Amino acid sequence: MAGRGKRAAAVRAIDVPSRPSLAAADAPVADPPPASQAQPAAGGLMAARLVAFDAQGRAARLSLGGAEIEAALDEALSPSVLATALARGERLVVQREGGGWVVLGALRTAPTPGVDEGDEFLIKARRVLVAAEHEFAIASGAASLVVRAQGFVETVAHDITARASGIHKIVGRIIRLN
Protein backbone atom coordinates (compact mmCIF):
# COMPACT_ATOMS: atom_id res chain seq x y z
CA MET A 1 0.00 0.00 0.00
CA ALA A 2 3.04 2.24 -0.24
CA GLY A 3 2.46 5.35 -2.29
CA ARG A 4 -1.29 5.39 -1.67
CA GLY A 5 -3.01 7.83 0.68
CA LYS A 6 -5.09 6.87 3.71
CA ARG A 7 -8.33 7.68 1.90
CA ALA A 8 -7.42 5.48 -1.05
CA ALA A 9 -6.62 2.56 1.22
CA ALA A 10 -9.91 2.98 3.12
CA VAL A 11 -12.19 2.75 0.08
CA ARG A 12 -12.45 -0.83 -1.15
CA ALA A 13 -15.12 -3.05 -2.59
CA ILE A 14 -16.52 -5.81 -0.42
CA ASP A 15 -17.11 -8.84 -2.59
CA VAL A 16 -18.32 -12.01 -0.89
CA PRO A 17 -18.41 -14.97 -3.28
CA SER A 18 -21.40 -17.24 -2.92
CA ARG A 19 -19.25 -20.42 -2.94
CA PRO A 20 -15.52 -20.17 -2.31
CA SER A 21 -13.51 -22.81 -4.14
CA LEU A 22 -10.54 -24.60 -2.65
CA ALA A 23 -8.33 -23.47 -5.55
CA ALA A 24 -9.18 -19.83 -4.84
CA ALA A 25 -8.14 -20.26 -1.19
CA ASP A 26 -4.65 -21.44 -2.25
CA ALA A 27 -4.16 -18.75 -4.88
CA PRO A 28 -1.97 -15.75 -4.01
CA VAL A 29 -3.90 -12.62 -3.02
CA ALA A 30 -3.30 -9.70 -5.39
CA ASP A 31 -3.18 -6.09 -4.24
CA PRO A 32 -6.50 -4.31 -4.83
CA PRO A 33 -6.59 -1.77 -7.66
CA PRO A 34 -5.95 1.87 -6.78
CA ALA A 35 -9.01 3.61 -5.33
CA SER A 36 -9.43 5.70 -8.49
CA GLN A 37 -10.05 2.44 -10.38
CA ALA A 38 -11.96 0.65 -7.59
CA GLN A 39 -15.33 -0.61 -8.77
CA PRO A 40 -17.51 -2.93 -6.71
CA ALA A 41 -18.47 -6.30 -8.10
CA ALA A 42 -22.16 -6.83 -8.85
CA GLY A 43 -23.99 -6.43 -5.57
CA GLY A 44 -20.78 -5.23 -3.83
CA LEU A 45 -20.77 -2.49 -1.23
CA MET A 46 -18.41 0.46 -0.85
CA ALA A 47 -17.85 3.19 1.69
CA ALA A 48 -18.04 6.85 0.64
CA ARG A 49 -18.05 10.28 2.29
CA LEU A 50 -21.09 12.52 2.03
CA VAL A 51 -20.43 15.93 0.47
CA ALA A 52 -24.04 17.20 0.24
CA PHE A 53 -27.57 15.86 -0.11
CA ASP A 54 -31.05 16.92 -1.16
CA ALA A 55 -33.66 15.25 1.05
CA GLN A 56 -36.57 16.38 -1.17
CA GLY A 57 -34.94 15.20 -4.38
CA ARG A 58 -33.67 12.03 -2.66
CA ALA A 59 -30.16 12.56 -4.08
CA ALA A 60 -26.65 12.92 -2.68
CA ARG A 61 -23.21 13.99 -3.82
CA LEU A 62 -20.48 11.68 -2.51
CA SER A 63 -16.71 11.51 -2.45
CA LEU A 64 -15.67 8.03 -3.57
CA GLY A 65 -12.05 7.19 -4.35
CA GLY A 66 -11.09 10.83 -4.70
CA ALA A 67 -13.86 11.60 -7.21
CA GLU A 68 -17.28 13.13 -6.60
CA ILE A 69 -20.28 11.12 -7.78
CA GLU A 70 -24.05 11.53 -7.68
CA ALA A 71 -26.17 8.90 -5.94
CA ALA A 72 -29.84 8.22 -5.22
CA LEU A 73 -31.04 7.69 -1.64
CA ASP A 74 -32.59 4.36 -0.73
CA GLU A 75 -36.32 4.77 0.01
CA ALA A 76 -35.89 3.40 3.55
CA LEU A 77 -33.09 5.86 4.41
CA SER A 78 -34.12 8.74 6.68
CA PRO A 79 -32.69 12.18 5.80
CA SER A 80 -31.86 12.71 9.50
CA VAL A 81 -29.35 9.83 9.27
CA LEU A 82 -27.61 11.67 6.42
CA ALA A 83 -27.65 14.99 8.28
CA THR A 84 -25.93 13.34 11.25
CA ALA A 85 -23.43 11.55 8.98
CA LEU A 86 -22.56 14.84 7.28
CA ALA A 87 -22.14 16.69 10.59
CA ARG A 88 -20.02 13.93 12.15
CA GLY A 89 -18.03 12.99 9.06
CA GLU A 90 -19.31 9.42 9.11
CA ARG A 91 -18.96 7.35 5.98
CA LEU A 92 -21.91 5.98 4.04
CA VAL A 93 -22.54 2.52 2.64
CA VAL A 94 -23.21 2.74 -1.11
CA GLN A 95 -23.98 0.18 -3.77
CA ARG A 96 -23.99 0.22 -7.56
CA GLU A 97 -27.47 -0.54 -8.90
CA GLY A 98 -28.63 -0.35 -12.51
CA GLY A 99 -25.70 1.78 -13.70
CA GLY A 100 -26.03 4.30 -10.84
CA TRP A 101 -25.14 4.54 -7.16
CA VAL A 102 -27.57 4.14 -4.25
CA VAL A 103 -26.88 5.24 -0.65
CA LEU A 104 -28.03 2.45 1.68
CA GLY A 105 -27.15 3.92 5.05
CA ALA A 106 -24.46 5.36 7.32
CA LEU A 107 -21.64 3.58 9.12
CA ARG A 108 -22.25 4.40 12.76
CA THR A 109 -19.10 5.39 14.62
CA ALA A 110 -20.70 6.24 17.97
CA PRO A 111 -23.14 4.46 20.30
CA THR A 112 -26.83 4.70 19.46
CA PRO A 113 -29.15 5.67 22.35
CA GLY A 114 -31.43 2.79 23.32
CA VAL A 115 -29.24 0.27 21.49
CA ASP A 116 -25.68 0.74 22.74
CA GLU A 117 -24.29 1.64 26.14
CA GLY A 118 -22.49 4.98 26.26
CA ASP A 119 -21.12 7.63 28.60
CA GLU A 120 -23.60 10.34 27.63
CA PHE A 121 -26.52 10.72 25.24
CA LEU A 122 -28.20 13.91 24.15
CA ILE A 123 -31.57 13.50 22.50
CA LYS A 124 -32.73 16.57 20.57
CA ALA A 125 -36.17 16.44 19.05
CA ARG A 126 -39.25 18.58 18.60
CA ARG A 127 -41.16 16.01 20.64
CA VAL A 128 -40.04 12.94 22.62
CA LEU A 129 -42.59 10.23 23.36
CA VAL A 130 -41.93 7.34 25.70
CA ALA A 131 -44.75 4.80 25.88
CA ALA A 132 -44.77 1.94 28.34
CA GLU A 133 -47.64 -0.49 28.80
CA HIS A 134 -47.00 -1.29 32.47
CA GLU A 135 -44.34 0.95 34.01
CA PHE A 136 -41.83 3.66 33.12
CA ALA A 137 -38.88 4.38 35.44
CA ILE A 138 -36.00 6.85 35.49
CA ALA A 139 -33.31 6.18 38.07
CA SER A 140 -29.96 7.71 38.92
CA GLY A 141 -28.20 6.56 42.07
CA ALA A 142 -30.59 6.83 45.03
CA ALA A 143 -33.15 8.99 43.18
CA SER A 144 -35.95 7.65 40.99
CA LEU A 145 -39.19 8.51 39.28
CA VAL A 146 -41.65 5.72 38.50
CA VAL A 147 -44.87 6.09 36.51
CA ARG A 148 -47.22 3.11 36.72
CA ALA A 149 -50.14 2.22 34.45
CA GLN A 150 -52.57 2.08 37.40
CA GLY A 151 -52.28 5.88 37.76
CA PHE A 152 -49.51 6.09 40.37
CA VAL A 153 -46.45 8.34 40.19
CA GLU A 154 -43.71 7.77 42.74
CA THR A 155 -40.74 10.11 43.25
CA VAL A 156 -37.98 8.98 45.61
CA ALA A 157 -35.02 11.18 46.56
CA HIS A 158 -33.21 12.71 49.53
CA ASP A 159 -34.27 16.24 48.50
CA ILE A 160 -36.90 17.27 45.94
CA THR A 161 -37.22 20.83 44.65
CA ALA A 162 -40.10 22.05 42.49
CA ARG A 163 -40.09 25.60 41.13
CA ALA A 164 -42.50 27.70 39.13
CA SER A 165 -42.17 31.25 37.83
CA GLY A 166 -45.97 31.53 37.91
CA ILE A 167 -48.62 29.67 39.87
CA HIS A 168 -47.52 26.35 41.35
CA LYS A 169 -50.60 24.17 41.83
CA ILE A 170 -50.83 21.07 43.96
CA VAL A 171 -54.19 19.45 43.38
CA GLY A 172 -55.45 16.32 45.12
CA ARG A 173 -58.43 14.97 47.03
CA ILE A 174 -56.15 14.65 50.06
CA ILE A 175 -52.78 16.33 50.49
CA ARG A 176 -50.62 14.98 53.30
CA LEU A 177 -47.67 17.05 54.50
CA ASN A 178 -45.19 15.17 56.71
H helix intervals, 19-97: 22-26, 79-88
Residue 135 C-alpha from the chain's centroid: 28
pLDDT of 47 strictly over 70: yes
Return the CATH number at 98.
2.40.50
pTM assigned to the model? 0.52
Q: Give dist(CA 79, CA 106) in Å, integer.
A: 11
pLDDT band at residue 173, thresholds of 50, 70 and 90?
Answer: very high
Residue 158 placed within a domain = no
Q: In which domain, by residue range, is 33 found? A: 6-106
Q: If you average pLDDT over every residue of the chain, what do you get?
A: 79
- Of these ranges, 55-59, 113-117, 149-153, the one predicted with the greatest mean pLDDT is 149-153
Backbone angles phi, psi at 83, to 5 degrees: -60, -40
pLDDT of 123 strictly over 90: no
Residue 165 placed within a domain = no
The total number of structural domains that make up the chain: 1
